[in-house]
A and B are shown apart, each in its own frame.
Chain A
Amino acid sequence: KNEVEQSPQNLTAQEGEFITINCSYSVGISALHWLQQHPGGGIVSLFMLSSGKKKHGRLIATINIQEKHSSLHITASHPRDSAVYICAVTKGAQKLVFGQGTRLTINP
């Protein structure tokens, strides 16, 4: 079993829909990261959080340390949000452990 599990693996939605991507982890962590990978491969860090909730524009990330679970929400989704969203956890001093990613497609 992977230490970081994401669901769903693939998600297709219509423009404007509310999107939720889930991440569960089974190890002790110091932080959890949400990353966005565009088709060309480039990766952008969206959030790093260790408790509670963070919001950037239409993106919201939450984490529940007791349940070892995080969610990434996208409100009013847009085709430009189409990308692979990756959950990663900082395990130990340096190591990032990654989920397999969720491929999101938003249709106009």
Chain B
Amino acid sequence: SQTIHQWPATLVQPVGSPLSLECTVEGTSNPNLYWYRQAAGRGLQLLFYSVGIGQISSEVPQNLSASRPQDRQFILSSKKLLLSDSGFYLCAWSVEAAREQYFGPGTRLTVT
């Protein structure tokens, strides 16, 4: 069966510090991968998606970036965090576009 992991579960970082959130999927090959953010009191927003290794599409211009160094690994990064980067970050995968998406447990990021 397929499993999706995210870590860390919670993170408190000062403004200006770097960020690295990791997501890995097990039990499937060549998944579509997604990063979402849920800011406090707001709905989910797609940040990045990837259809293959090294292929990243950005939905929202911001100081975040994403990378996919391996087939089942998706990393969200920032060189310098802003207060507005606080939120709940979710990774998800799907077999292909427009198919059901499966979400990871999420990372709650607080930028202080």
Contact = CB atoms under 8 A, between A and B. Distances in A.
Question: Are both chains from one complex?
Answer: yes
A95 interface: yes
Given A43-B103, A44-B103, A93 B43 contact: no
B99 A45 contact: no
A1 to B, nearest CB: 14
Contact of A33 (B32, B42, B90, B101): B101
Interface of B: 32, 34, 36, 38, 42-46, 49, 51, 57, 59, 88, 90, 97-103, 105-106, 108
Contacts of B59: 95
Interface string A68-108: 00000000000000000010101001111111110000000
Contact of B46 (A43, A44, A95): A95
Given A86-B43, A95-B46, A95-B59, A42 B100 contact: no
A41 interface: yes
B23 to A, nearest CB: 14
B98 A30 contact: yes
Among A43, A44, A90, the one with the most B-chain Cβ atoms within 10 Å of its Cβ is: A43
Top-7 shortest CB links A-B: A43-B103, A98-B44, A48-B100, A30-B98, A98-B43, A100-B43, A93-B97
B87 to A, nearest CB: 10
A19 interface: no
A11 interface: no
B83 to A, nearest CB: 20
Among B34, B43, B49, B101, the one with the most A-chain Cβ atoms within 10 Å of its Cβ is: B43
A26 B98 CA distance: 18
A33 B42 CA distance: 18
16 contacts: A31-B99, A33-B100, A33-B101, A41-B88, A41-B108, A42-B105, A44-B103, A45-B100, A48-B100, A86-B43, A90-B97, A93-B98, A94-B32, A95-B49, A96-B36, A100-B43
A42 B70 CA distance: 25
A101 B31 CA distance: 27
A89 B102 CA distance: 15
